Amino acid sequence: MKVRIGPVLTVTLAPAVDWTVSVEGFELGGVNRAVSSTREASGKGVNVAWALSRAGVPVDVLVPGAGTASAFIDDELERAGIPHRTVPTRRETRTNITLRVPGSSTKINEPAPALSEDELAEVTREVRARAASAEVVALCGSLPASVPAATYAGLIEAARAANPDLRVVLDTSGEPLALALAARPDLVKPNVDELAELTGRTIGTLGDVRSAAEQAMEMGAGAVLASLGADGSLLVTPEGAFRAVSRDIPVSNSVGAGDALLAGFIAGGDFGPRSLGTAALWAASAVSAATTLFPVREEFTERIAVAGDPDPAIALTEPSRPLSKTPGPLTAG
């Protein structure tokens, strides 16, 4: 039985236009001719909204922006019939470039433009106003360098002040994640490296992932959805731990797989094992698609398994990177 989820508000403080150029070969310093070129409205929360909307889940998108890149994002969302609000800014929205050659790709990401205090205050007012009619708020992505690290904590508090029954999910990393835990988001979605940084742990097994997730919950997270790359994903809740793995999925493009995982989890509706299965299906569908605008491949359902209490001794294919020399975990306040 599918669970119908109500309106989902996504908030992306660092939106972008993703410009992908494909060439048959590349010569540094030479003239290279593109064989194809595409542009997509992007940013982590925008990607989540795209996936949800294409699956029939009502969404509302909030981004700051200005200039031609922002106008492109507005036009694309308008064409798709996705409700959205762009808070006007003084600095132009960024464009990120992906150069694809056969067998590899290279990304060049512009830094997110700064937001002034007035612009950030307007974003907060919009979150408060739009959260009142939402069922879920998804706060996604990195913060522009000028924005205080505690911004996500403040946005969670503003959203909950408008709607105490709201569920809040957070997909970010570093100090913004650590400080946001004090506001008690219902779910956070780190990858292995982000979870290791948050907790000050080295993560090499499923048991390490679970222990780190439980530490994150002690710091304030309601639940943790850890993306493990080739090892699937692990959901840790007060009721226990559940792992989703997929097999025999053709991989075409891994960009945006984490955003698809989060979108699928939200769409699953129960924030438990059912949601984890939906999340794994959407992530598998995303990696099998050529672009981030993927169709959900229901035929992959039989290739996905969800089980509770996974063996803690299972080693990760991609353990966490070595921690910095600074000892101890990031703190939540």
Q: Could you tell me the sign of the dihedral formed by the alpha carbons of 276, 278, 284, 290, in that order?
A: negative
Tokens of residue 3, six digits: 């669970």
Scanning the chain, the segments in alpha helix (DSSP H) are: 44-54, 67-79, 117-131, 151-162, 174-180, 192-199, 206-219, 257-268, 273-287
The answer to whether 61 touches 46, Cβ cutoff 8 Å, is: yes
* Residue type, position 106, single letter: T
Tell me whether strands 104-108 and 187-188 are parallel, antiparallel or unpaired: unpaired
Distance CA 265, CA 55 (A): 13
Distance CA 211, CA 312 (A): 10
Tokens of residue 307, six digits: 């089980």
Catalytic residue among 165, 231, 259, 309: 259
Name the phi and psi angles at 210, rounded to 5: -65, -45
Distance CA 246, CA 42 (A): 26
Strand order in the sheet with 16-23: 34-42, 16-23, 94-101, 104-108
Active site residue 259: yes
Closest CA to 217 of 192, 243, 235: 235
Cα–Cα–Cα angle for 290, 291, 295, nearest 5°? Answer: 85
Distance CA 129, CA 162 (A): 7
Place of tokens 């709607």: 163
Contacts of 30 (CB under 8 A, 6+ apart): none
187 beta partners: 169
> Could you list the active site residues?
259
